[in-house]
Amino acid sequence: MKLQVLSRTDASTLQGVDGMVTAACYDEKHFFAAVDGGAIRKFPFTNDDIGQTTEDSFVLKTSHITCIDSTRDPGAPNTFFIGCSDGNFHLCSTNWRIEKTVQAHNGGVTCISVNPDGTSIATGGEDGLVKIWSRNGSLRSTLASCGTAVTTARWDCTGKNLMFTHAGNVTIRSASFKQEQTQFRSHRRLVTCSDWDSGSNLIITGGEDRVARIFDADGRSIAESQPFDYAVSAVSFLRNSKLCLIGTSNRLYLTDSKLHVLNALAISAGAVIIASPTMPRVFVGGNGVLALVAVTGKKIVYKDCEVVSESPRKLTIFDLKNGITENLQFSECIVNFYMNFNNLIVTTPTKIQIYKCGQWTTPVIVDTKEPVRVIAQSQTMFSMITISGAQIIGYDGRPISRINDSRVKWDLLSAESVAVSPAIFVAVMPDVRRHVFAFATSTGQMITSEPLQHSSEIRCIRTNQATSQARARFGFVNANGDLTVCRFVASNPRLPPSIETAKLANFVDEFEWHSTHDLLVARNGEKMTVWCCPSAAFFTNELMPMLKIELRLLFDAAGISAFDGAHAFVTAKDGAFCVVPISPFLIMIHEAVDIHRNWKIVLQICRAMNEQYLWAVCAACAIQAGEVDAAQEAYAALSLVDRVMFLGKVKKMKSPASRNAMIAILQGRVNEAEEILIQGGCIFRAVKMNISMGRWDKALAIAKRTNKFVEVVAAYRTEFLKEMNMEETDQNFIKIGPVQMESVKNIIQQEKAAEING
C-alpha cells in the first residue's frame, strides 16, 4: 500500500499571515485548517483538488490560533471552538461570527476537543489544567491539574471518558468522576500527539523520543514503532482499515496496526493529520502547505482472483486462473471494497456496486442514501451498516430486512464488531463493548430477549456460515485474548432462545471461521491453531484436545485474511501474503457430513487414515447428527470405553422418546431432553435423568407436576445425603421428610421393567 498526494495548496492566501498549520478539524462535509497567523480555511471532502478553494473562511487578528474543533450534528448547524495563545477560546457559528469568548487558561490553550454528541468541550492549557465546558461555554468542572502543560485531549466514542497527555504520560478519566482514572507512561519524553480510535478503542501516541506507540484503554502496550529520524508530530488512525498515519518533519508514514512502515512520503507537511470518517481522504498540514492524500494499493486475494486499487477511482482485477486482467473505472472515488464468497463489493459515496467473480462488466448497483460505514459478507447476502442502522441485502441487490435497534450506535461499528451469516447478524455494542446483539437476518428482529453480556471488553466477533439458527455459531475474542464460541439454545419453544457460551482457548489474537464448514482457525502470536469442530465444546469436552491441530508454519504469522477450502490465507510479519494448507481429509469429512450426509464415506476416510483428530471429528459430527452407530465406532477407535457403553445402552432402548432424549443429552441439550421424555410419557426416566445430574429441584418439580414419584425423589435424596454424610437444608425436601429406599423399591423395579418391555 502507498500514499498518493491528490492535490496541495498554500495554507493561507492572506498577505503577511503566517501559514504554519497549527490545527485542523472536520464536520460532516468539510475539512477546516487553521494557521498560526489567525486564518481558517474550508475544504470539501468530495473535491480532490483543494487548490480550488482560494478564500479564507475566517480571520482572527487578535491572537494566534493554537487548536480548533467543531460539533458534528448532521441535522443542525455546527458550532466551532477556536483555542488561542492568549488563553481564550472562541465560540463561532457556522457563518464564523464569534458568539462568545471565554477566558479558559493562564497561558495558551494547547488543545480543545468536542465530545461525539457535541454537548461537552474539553480544553487543556499551558497551566496544566484540563477543564470541561458546556456547549455554550459555561464551565462545568476542572477535571485535572497536571502540573505540566497538557499537550493533547481526545474523547472516547461514548463521550463519557477523556484522554489527555502531559509530559510523557497518558491519563484517561471519566468526565463525571464516576470511575477511577487510568494513567500510564507512554514515552520517555514529551507526548506530542495522540488519537483514540472509536472502532477498536485503541490509543496511538507519538512523542519527542521519535517513537509511536499503540495502547489499549487499560494502558497495555499493543505495538511500538521503530525510531524515526525526527520527533513524531502527528498520528492518526485510518478508520476500518487497520492502518495508521504518522507525521514527522517533512515526512508522512503509512503503517499497519503493528506500526510496521508500509510506505513513506516526502512532503513538507506532517504537523497535522485529519482522516475523514466517511471518505478515503486524509488532510495533512505543515509548514505553510496543505495536502489531500489518499491511500492506494490495497490488495485482496480471493481464490484465483487478485484485486488491487491502483488509484482512488480505479480497481485492477487479475484473474490468475484464466490469465485475464480487468480494469474497473468509477465515476466517484472508491470508499472501500470487499471480496468474499465469490462476490466483489465496491462502495462509493452514493452507490454500492456488486460484481460476481468472473462477470466484471455487469455489476448490480444499489443506491445508498447515507454513507456506508461497514460491509460484512456471508454466503448468500451481506450487511450494509450506515449511521441509521443495518440493512441485509442479497447479492442480487434486493433488500431482505432492516435492523434499527436504537440501543446500538451504528455509526461507531467497525469491521471487527459486526459479522453476518445466512441466519444471523451479530454486533458488539460499540460504547459498552461487552454486550452482543444477535438478530435474525430474515426478519431483522432480535433473536434473544436481552443481549449477551460478557465480563470484559470484546475485541472482535465472527460467525460461521450455517443456514439455520439451530446450527448458527458465533465467536469473539475479548481483551484478555480469551476465545469464546456461542450458540442459541431454545429451552422453551414459547420463549426466545438464550445464548450458551463455551471457552475454547486463551491468548488468541484473532480468528476466522471456515467459509463453509464448522472449522475455526486462530492465531496466537506467531502460531496458528485449527479447531476441527468448535461446536463440540458444548457437549463433549473430552474430545476438544483431540480436535485441536497446531499448524506448521515456515514464517511468522501476523494476520488471518480468510479461511476457505483446504487453505488458510495469512499475512506474514514482513507483509507477504501466504497460504497455509489444511488437511484435505478434514474438509472431505465435513463435506460428507454437511452436504452428502454419507456416513459410509466418513468412516472409510477415518479407517484409511486412522488419525486421532479425524476420528474425533467423526465422533463429534455423529453426535450432532444423532448417528449412534458412527459415533460408537469413532469412540471405540478413540478408546473412550464409557461413551461406547453408553451408546450401546441407547441402542438397546425400545422407547423412541428415551433414545432421542439420551442423544439430546449427548448433544448438550439437557432441557430439550427433559421435554422429550415428558412428552413421550417417560416421566420416571425424566425424573431419574435429573437425579443423576444432581438437579434435585427439577426432579422434584416434575414429580409434583405429574403427581408421581415424589417419594422416589425423596428416597434418592435421602440415600444421597446419607452417603455424603450431610444434613438436609432444602425446605421442599424437609417438608416431605426422609424416605427409605426399601419403601419405593417396588415402584422403581416396575418402572424399569416397563421401560425394558417398551
HSE value, Cβ hemisphere, 13 Å, CA-based, for 93: 5
Query: 45-49, 221-225, 468-472, 723-727: which has the minimum mean pLDDT?
Result: 45-49
Q: Backbone phi, then psi, for 214, in 5-degree steps?
A: -120, 135
Alpha-carbon torsion (656, 662, 668, 669), positive or negative: positive
Contact in structure between 529 and 550 (CB atoms under 8 Å): yes
∠ CA 200-261-524, nearest 5°, is: 50
The distance from CA 667 to its chain's CA centroid, rounded to whole angstroms, is 29
Q: What are phi and psi of 278, to 5 degrees?
A: -120, -20
Q: What is the mean pLDDT of residues 233-250?
A: 91
Identify the band that residue 631 occupies on the pLDDT scale cut at 50, 70 and 90.
very high
Q: Which three cell numbers stand for residue 581?
A: 494448507
Rounded Cα distance, 475 and 384, in Å: 21
Least confident of 13-17, 551-555, 687-691, 715-719: 13-17
DSSP structure class, residue 592: I
Reported residue count of the chain is: 758
- Residue 2 pLDDT exceeds 70: yes
CA distance 5 to 10: 14
> Quick one: cell of 270?
506532517
Contact 509, 481 (CB under 8 A): yes
What lies within 8 Å, CB to CB, of 298 at 6+ separation is 1, 241, 308, 309, 337
pLDDT at 526: 83
Residue 249's SS3 state is coil
Residue 560 to residue 571: CA distance in whole angstroms: 6
Identify the pLDDT of residue 344.
96
Round to whole Å and give the CA distance between 559 and 476: 16
Q: What is the pLDDT of residue 191?
A: 97
Contact 628, 730 (CB under 8 A): no
Residue 638: pLDDT over 90: yes
pLDDT for res 18:
61
* Three cell numbers, residue 462: 465472527
pTM of the model: 0.89
The alpha carbon torsion through 104, 106, 112, 114 (nearest 10 deg) reads: -30
Which tens digit of pLDDT belongs to each residue from 309-364? 999 999 999 988 888 899 999 999 999 999 999 999 999 999 999 999 988 988 99
CB contact at 8 A, 346 and 359: no
Tens of pLDDT along 443-501?
999 999 999 999 999 999 999 999 999 999 999 999 999 999 999 988 777 889 999 99
Q: Which residues pair with 297 in a beta bridge?
A: none
Mean pLDDT check: name the lowest of 34-48, 123-137, 210-224: 34-48
pLDDT in tens, 683-695: 998 999 999 889 9
Residue pair 343/357 in contact by the 8 Å Cβ criterion: yes
Per-residue pLDDT at 14 exceeds 70: no
pLDDT of residue 680: 86
Q: Please give the Cα distance from 448 to 12 (Å, whole number).
A: 56
Q: What does the pLDDT read at residue 56?
A: 58
Residue 297 Cα distances to 47, 141, 316, 317, 730, angstroms = 21, 47, 10, 12, 69
Q: Write the CA distances from 339 to 317, 376, 497, 638, integer angstroms.
A: 11, 10, 33, 41
At 648, give phi and psi (nearest 5°): -65, -40
Question: With 90 as the cut, is the pLDDT of residue 16 above it?
Answer: no
| Per-residue pLDDT tens over the stretch 348-407 | 999 999 999 988 988 999 999 998 999 999 999 999 999 999 999 999 999 999 999 999
Per residue in 706-722, pLDDT (tens digit) is 888 999 999 999 999 99
- Cα–Cα distance for residue pair 561/538, rounded to 1 Å: 27
Phi-psi bin for 243: left (phi > 0), alpha (psi -120 to 50), beta? Answer: beta
Q: Extract the C-alpha cell encoding 99.
A: 458568539
Written as nine digits, the cell of 505 is: 482457548
> Per-residue confidence at 286, pLDDT binned at 50, 70, 90?
confident
Nearby residues of 363 by Cβ (< 8 Å), 6 or more positions away: 346, 353, 354, 355
C-alpha cell at 756: 425394558
In the chain, where are the structural domains located? 2-296, 665-758
The pLDDT, as a whole number, for residue 211 is: 97
At 410, the amino acid letter reads W
Q: What is the pLDDT of residue 37?
A: 76
Query: 2-296 domain in CATH 2.130.10.10?
Result: yes
Provide the 10 A C-beta neighbour count for residue 47.
15
Q: Which residues, including other chains, have CB under 8 Å from residue 366's CB and lie 6 or more apart?
A: 351, 352, 353, 354, 384, 393, 397
Q: What average pLDDT does the chain have? A: 91
Q: Which of 305-319, 434-448, 658-672, 713-727 has the lowest mean pLDDT?
A: 658-672
Distance between CA atoms of 192 and 275, rounded to whole angstroms? 18
Residue whose cell numbers read 460467525: 463
Output the DSSP codes for 173-209. Answer: EETTS-S--EEEE--SS-EEEEEE-TTT--EEEEETT
Residues 61, 100: contact at Cβ < 8 Å? no
Please report the DSSP string for 468-484 in residue order.
STTT-EEEEEETT--EE
Where does 610-730 have alpha helices with state H? 612-625, 628-637, 641-652, 656-666, 670-679, 683-692, 696-706, 710-724
> In which element (H, E) is residue 278 found?
none
pLDDT of amino acid 244: 95
Using pLDDT thresholds of 50, 70 and 90, give the confidence band for residue 177: confident
Q: Are 256 and 238 in contact (CB under 8 A)?
A: no
Exposure on the CB side of residue 502, measured as CA atoms within 13 A: 19
Confidence (pLDDT) at 267? 87
